[in-house]
Amino acid sequence: MISDHRLQTAFWIGLGLLALWLLYLLGPILTPFLLAGILAYACNPLVDRLQGLGPPRLIAVIVVLLLMLALLIGLVLIIVPLIVEEAGILAVRLPDAVALANEKLAPWLRGNFGIKLRFDPATLRKLVTDNMDSLQTVVQHLFASLKIGGVAIFGLLVTLLLTPVAMFYLLLDWPWLLARIDNAIPRPWHAKATTILRDVDSVLAQFLRGQIMVMAVLALYYGVALWMAGLPSAAAIGLLTGCLIFVPYVGFATGLALALLVAVLQFQGIGLVVAVLVVFGFGQLLESFLLTPFLVGERIGLHPLAVIFALMAFGQLFGFFGILLALPASAALLVGLRELKAVYVASRFYRGPTA
């Protein structure tokens, strides 16, 4: 007959597998809630400290959210003037760009491909008229892509709107949520589960500190490297890229796009563009194979190869949601594996029959 202990063990294992299956199915819609949970976890200590100074928790939560909003506005104030400035440069230099295309690009096209082309309004209008059928096909394909892109943009907007709302309620009810979780733990397991949860909390705190160090190092690296490459607005682009690195791939892609835009608008040839690509290529290698594995992985006790594998595996299984989840989940899993190892080493199976 199966013992109650084994039935309980089978129940919790089944419940864990069911939770993983649901995460896999619901991953695309869980992103704002997971992001809100991560931000709430990171900001809760600050809310607790503010609440300890006297104001109600609601006021402390609002203050913290306003601080985050101020940080977000600061990032926007870095990006928008940069884009406006480069758009102004483009408007001023567009005639020079057209002249350069007529001087350099048109002879190259004529000499290598036999294409006779002159970059002026009349010629470009004739080119469009002669290739209208092909352009219509391209526009249809673009429209189909924009419908897919529109869904993605809608999802992004939902995430941006839903994340602060979910974060507000999570921060407001954080003590209540912890109490409910504590009350839900079976009493015979309470002491051990509480110890494990404290260990997980410690590991996740180390993860956040390591991630902040990665962001600071990369902001400094990109700012200095782009400045040495001769790129205007290097400090702003470097700071923005470093701050957004916390969201995997978004920070890198945003910084690279802005840097390439600035480089192209300088009309200094291909050299500056290549320099930007080299800077960001080396920065991605630096982040993926050195900073994240050692500053984050070592702090949470994961081998650098385990960090790289976790990012790739969770990203493959759950997409962008999985990349957000990868290192925190790996840190929590590490604590569980330590406990399993302790049980295994103490087991009769490992130690063998006693005399």
- Is 100 inside a domain boundary? no
For 30-69, the pLDDT digits (tens) are: 777 877 887 888 888 899 999 988 889 999 999 999 998 9
Confidence band of 117 (pLDDT split at 50, 70, 90): low
Judge whether 200 lies within some domain.
yes
User: In 10 A of CB 300, how many CB atoms?
Assistant: 24
- In angstroms, rounded to a whole number, what is the distance separating the alpha carbons of residues 251 and 231? 18
- With cut-offs at 50, 70 and 90, classify the pLDDT of residue 355: very low
Q: Is the alpha carbon torsion for 327, 331, 332, 338 positive or negative?
A: positive
Q: Which of 21-25, 211-215, 274-278 has the highest mean pLDDT?
A: 274-278
Number of domains in the chain: 1
Residue 139 pLDDT exceeds 90: no
Could you tell me what percent of the chain has a pLDDT over 90? 11
The pLDDT, as a whole number, for residue 287 is 85
What does the pLDDT read at residue 119? 59
Burial of 263 (0-12, 13-18, 19+ CB in 10 A): buried
Which of 117, 123, 124 has the alpha carbon at shortest distance from 103? 117
Token pair for residue 48? 């607790």
* 319 in a structural domain: yes
In a domain, 179, yes or no: no
The pLDDT assigned to 59 comes to 93
Residue 177 lies in a domain: no
- Helices and strands counted in the chain (H then E): 14, 0
Let me know if residue 283 belongs to a domain: yes
Strand residue runs (E) in 212-262: none
Q: Which domain holds residue 210?
A: 189-355
Range among 61-70, 106-115, 233-242, 246-255 with highest mean pLDDT value: 61-70
- Ranges 48-52, 89-93, 273-277: which has the least confidence: 89-93
CB atoms within 10 A of CB 354: 5
Kindly state whether residue 303 falls inside one of the protein's structural domains: yes
Q: Please state, in angstroms and as integers, the Cα–Cα distance from residue 145 to each residue in 131, 148, 150, 320, following that order.
A: 21, 5, 8, 20
In a domain, 82, yes or no: no
Is 34 within 8 Å of 329 (Cβ atoms)?
A: no
